[in-house]
Amino acid sequence: MPYINIKMTHEDGGASVEQKEALIKGMTEVFDKVIGRGAKTAVVIIDEVSTHNYGMGGKTINNIREEQKT
């Protein structure tokens, strides 16, 4: 059983239900096309991560973006 995990930032209200459904369908189709299995058994998980909850270089992404504005 394929397990596909999509991680993306949660910004501007996050992905809509329709966008998430399209991602799940599309990722399943691509996996099946490339690997040749999983059309009926692929599990797709979408994790939306707040930009307050990750960072680079010791700063949150929110702080980095604020610094880039100035």
Catalytic site positions: 2
What is the identity of the amino acid at 29? E
Residues 6+ apart with CB under 8 A from 8: 15, 46, 47, 48, 49
H or E stretch at 46: strand 43-50
